[in-house]
Structure 1
Amino acid sequence: MSIWAGLVAAFGTVGMVIAGWFAARATRAAAAATAEATAAAAQAQAAPAQRAADLSVLQATVERVDKENGELRTRQSRLESILRAFSLSADRWRRQMEQAGIEPEPPHPLVEEYNRTGV
């Protein structure tokens, strides 16, 4: 019986070593899975904050562009008004010169185009 006892002890020892190896492997796999889950949870928690930051930057940009557009439209409208007023004044001066018998210089081609099209 001592042979059987020796064989059982030997197989028991080999079994314990194999079981230990499987346990170590499972522990490493569990640690890796836990690390991945922790990283995923951290990223999921950070995503709404990042989106909120992105949204605030986008809103600030839109507000700035809207303000600049408003300023440019106002400026363009004012320049168009000045151009119309100057064009009317120059036309009046041209007519006065013709009435006085003075032949004015021909207008610049861009002025002729503006008088013709209004643009």
Structure 2
Amino acid sequence: MNVTEWIGLITAAGSILGGGGFFVARATVKASQATARANEAVATIQANPQAKAQDFAVLQATVQRVDEENGKLRLRQSRLETLLRAFAWTTDRWARQMHHAGIEPEPAHPLVDEYNRTGV
């Protein structure tokens, strides 16, 4: 190739590239938009574990609170059952004392009879 052909080739390439600058700019804009969407997606993905961690922390706190409340309720129930047994033992002793003294006590309530039979 001689110099004239090279100059023609360079001029043609310049006009193609110069006219193609529009396409290059458009591609650059699309690429930057795609990059922005990808960055948003990455930010969302990275935020999800943090949101899940916060949800898990709330769940853990709730479970701990419910466990504490259940423990307190179980303790109250245990104390109440102990009191009920002591009261049942005391009233049974009084009823036996009345029988020994020849006094017939009033019949017990049906729930008391059921408790005395089943213990529940």
State the shift of 1:39 in Å.
1.0
Q: In the alignment, which residue of structure 2 is the partner of 1:7?
A: none
Alignment of 1:1-119 (within 5 A): 16=19, 20=22, 22-23=23-24, 26-119=27-120
Q: State how far apart, in whole Å, the 2-side matches of 1:24 and 1:98 are.
A: 108
Give how far 1:40 is off: 0.7
Partners of 2:94 and 2:67 lie apart in 1 by 40
Q: Which amino acid aligns with 2:97?
A: Q
CA distance in 2, matches of 1:46, 1:39: 10
Give the letter for the 2:60 counterpart: Q
**Residue 36 of structure 1: how far off its partner (Å):** 1.5
- In the superposition, the TM-score normalised over structure 2's length comes to 0.74
Q: Percent identity?
A: 63
Structure 2, unmatched stretches of 5+, are 1-14
Q: How many residues align?
A: 105
Runs (4+) of structure 1 exceeding 6 A deviation are: none
- Structure 1: distance between partners of 2:116 and 2:100: 20
Q: CA deviation at 1:26?
A: 3.4
Structure 1, gaps ≥5 residues long:
1-11
* Corresponding residue for residue 6 of structure 1: none
Q: Shift of residue 79 of structure 1?
A: 0.5
RMSD: 2.3
Q: Secondary structure at 2:106's aligned position in 1? A: coil
SS for the counterpart of 1:101 is: coil
DSSP-derived class of the 1:92 partner = helix
1:106 partner SS = coil
Q: What letter is aligned with 2:69?
A: E
